[in-house]
Amino acid sequence: MTKITVVGSASMDLVVTSSIRPGAGETVLGESFKTVPGGKGANQAVAAARLGAEVTMIGCVGDDHLGKSILDNFKANGINTDYMGVIEGMESGTAHIILAEGDNSIVVVKAANDHVTPDHIDKAVDVIKASDIVLIQQEIPEETVVYVSELCGKYNVPLMINPAPARSVPQDVVEQASYITPNEHEADILFGKESLSDVLRRYPNKLIVTEGKKGVRYFDGKEEVVVSGYSVEAVDTTGAGDTFNGAFAVAIAEGMNIKDSLKFANRAASLSVTKFGAQGGMPTRSEVEESL
């Protein structure tokens, strides 16, 4: 079994559905409210576990009832929680999500996720060393992203960074990573005014730019390649990017080539949006394989 370690956020998503998105100063009546597990790190861990990887999650929750549910959810998905910290007197991370007009708006309160510090990572060096790939995002402190990148460099472990939510990434981390998976907006923040084609050429087979329904774009060393997405009836797009990242990590760690890995990841992501909740529609291995 491939060993995947995810370093990142684990939160609870508080989701309201509404036919109208309220503007500033406006109150609207919604239709439903649900509490479901989320957080980009946790979502990517669950996506990878459902697809058959042996997954360890490194993160932190608070000592509140949400933290307990978050840990229970990891266990229910077969994820190793030995390196999950429970921070005394602290709330668990939450994401406040409005699903309206076919898309989401999200406010994240990081809370315990800010305690995923280099000191916390030090407790998990052995598991990082033994990983086939490490997956990281940006809902945790930047110094931790830098530290994990250094550890991966030191121990020669491939690192996949999903630079979401949008925040610049230190150049050393960009150079150290084996794969970087921004969406178009995040790519703009990372690489500024430079044209996307030039940036893709600078990072062949490493920079993978996701373009929503259109699919993903990368440079294979000879030409720019677009791996198309799949069109489906979307119920909730929350977590589609996380499913993509978890699935891509699984496929790459199993030794699939980049193009096939991206097809696999696109398929998994397209299935994930057909159900409610970031993790609700994340497919199993056989669901992805059958639909491919």
When the beta carbons of 14 and 196 are compared against ligand RIB, the nearer one is: 14
Q: Is 108 in the site for ligand RIB (CB under 6 A)?
A: yes
As measured in angstroms, the least distance from the Cβ of 152 to ligand RIB is 22
When the beta carbons of 39 and 229 are compared against ligand RIB, the nearer one is: 39
When the beta carbons of 40 and 267 are compared against ligand RIB, the nearer one is: 40
CB 13 within 8 A of CB 105: no
> Which of 2, 13, 71, 136 forms a contact with ligand RIB (CB under 6 A)?
13
Q: CB under 6 A: which stretch of 80-88, 142-150, 215-223, 234-242 binds ligand RIB?
A: 234-242
> Which x/- pattern over 68-107 shows residues binding ligand RIB (rule: CB under 6 A)?
---------------------------x----------x-
- One-letter amino acid at 106 equals I
Residue at shortest CB range from ligand RIB: 38
CB 50 within 8 A of CB 74: no
Calpha distance 245→50 (Å, rounded): 13
Write out the binding residues for ligand RIB, residues 32-71 only, by CB under 6 A.
38-40, 43
Q: Reduced to 3 states, what is the DSSP secondary structure of residue 175? A: helix
User: Any residues with CB less than 8 A from the CB of 153 and at least 6 apart, and which?
Assistant: 159, 176
- 192: alpha, beta or left? (left if phi > 0; alpha if psi -120 to 50): left
When the beta carbons of 39 and 85 are compared against ligand RIB, the nearer one is: 39
Report which of 243, 241, 175, 247 is spatially closest to residue 206, judged by C-alpha positions. Answer: 175
- How is the beta sheet containing 209-210 ordered, strand by strand? 209-210, 215-219, 224-228
Which residues are at the interface with ligand RIB (CB under 6 A)?
11, 13, 38-40, 43, 95, 106, 108, 139, 238-239, 241-242, 278
